Every structure is written in C-alpha cells, then in structure tokens.
Amino acid sequence: MHINRIDYSDGSEWVLELKRYALAIEYDGRDFSGWQIQPRMVTVQGEMERAVAKMAGHEIRVHAAGRTDAGVHASRQIVHFDTAVQRPITAWVRGVNSFLPSGIAVLWAREVPNHFHSRFVATARHYRYLLLRHPVRPSLQAGRVGWIHYDVDVDKMRAAAQHLLGEHDFSSFRAAECQALSPIKLLQRIEISEQGNMLCFDFSAGAFLHHMVRNMMGALLHIGKGNEEPEWMAWLLAQQNRQSAPPTFMPDGLYLTGVTYPAEFALPTEPEYRYGLI
C-alpha cells in the first residue's frame, strides 16, 4: 500500500492510502490502434484509463503486461492501476465495463500488493496465433483469424520451430521501430496444433520484441509452403538481420492469451482458452 500525504497551509494534512488493483481484460484489436496511448488515436489504454477514471472519480494511469499492436487481440491481458478511492471489487469489473466500448471487457479484478507491476514482475507472456486454411477468405471470422488459401506442411513447420526455442538473438524477427534494449530473448515454448482447418501456434517467452511473433509466423509459413527446408530457420536466426527474413504476417489472428506471474500474487492469469480456441 502506498501512502501519499497532502500538506495544507494551515498545518493540517490528509493521508491517502493508495491501493493497487490488477485487472484481466480482453479486447478485439480491430477497433483500436494498439494498446499504447497515441495522439488522435483510439487505443485500448486510452479507453481503459477513461473508464477506470469515471469509476474512480479522478485521473488514472493504467499499466499493461504487454503493448499489443494495432489489430492484435487479447483474451487475457493483465493491467494494474492505483487509487485511494474505496469501491467494492465488483465496481472495477461491472462498473468499469459499463463505461467501456463493446470491444473491451474486464474479466476480473484483484487487489494486489504495491510491489506488483503488471509488466515488470511478469515472468512469461503467452501468445496464440489462429490461422485459417481455407480456399476462400473468411467473413464471420474476418479480422479475428489469419488466413491462407493454400495448404502447408505442418510437420516441416514444427521441425523449423524447434530451431527457435531457447535463448537467441532474434534480430531477424525484430521490427525496425522496436524499442527493446536487447534483441536477446528466451523463447520458452512454441507449439503447432491442428483443429480442423484451423492451425494454432502457441508462443511463450519472458518477453517479445516488436512484431516478433508475426515475423516468426512469416518465416514458418515460408517454410510450410515449401520455399525452404526446416534447417533454413537456423540460418535465418544466425543472420541477425531483418532484411533476410520474409515479410511480417498479418496481425488478425494474434492474441495475447495470458501472462505468468510469481506464485506469491496468486493471480489466475494463465491461458485457459475460454472460447475453445483463445
């Protein structure tokens, strides 16, 4: 708990006890220019801060576990904020939801200790990419899944993915505008599964570079189409050069599905794929 003191000219003081709250939220990224606030843009952070501020009655800064790009979705993004306002915990769920646009929803709220930080104490982020294989473009799922009209060799993509596991310099998969201090990341998990004509790509890492997942998707599909053999992925990784890699794949099917935190916080933040796929 934070303590803020406001001293008045008459010698009195007002002590504010700031409590920290963690929220899990989901959102449809099609409606927003990414998570982070940008001038003259509608963003998830901007809408969250507006809604939480209405419930709290004062300005609020909302911090997130990860900054998703425009068009990227979340089924379990974790955010936190501080306030001295006393509200029932349900107010930070149903009350905040009443002020949010339909593309964003709070799933749950928890009070957390003041050393919790949604971004800095996270130990892993989990993403899933949903890719539809179908001869014609989707309509009902448009913007919510990636799409290819051709078939791919899933076994070759699985073999290629093994070269990405572990700690590497991922410069070949890093966007030019990436602000990360280091391109070295530890990719803890990459799995490819099939559910009918849907391919599910699961990625877990302590942190990701800007566009890293979408760039890995581009390389995996390049191999899946038969343009290269699986061993080419190791060569590409060793180049440490974005110019050597295939184009960035579309954002449509990418979801932030969960965030791992130390057990001390007891937060239900792991992916659970509530809707069968995400």
Q: Which residues are catalytic?
A: 69
Question: Which residues, listed in sequence order, are joined to residue 186 by a DSSP beta bridge?
Answer: 167
129 has binding-site annotation = no
Tokens 């890995």 sit on residue: 216
Inter-CA distances, 117 with 20, 113, 172, 193, Å: 9, 9, 30, 32
Give just the sign of the alpha carbon dihedral 248, 251, 253, 258. Answer: positive
Residues with Cβ < 8 Å from 185, sequence gap 6 or more?
Answer: 167, 168, 170, 205, 206, 207, 208, 209, 212
What is the length of the chain? 278
- Residue 149, number of CB atoms within 10 A of its CB: 10
Residue 248 tokens read as 């960035």
Best CA proximity match to 68, nearest among 274, 264, 263, 254: 254
Rg of the chain over all Cα atoms, to the nearest angstrom:
21
List the binding residues for substrate: 127
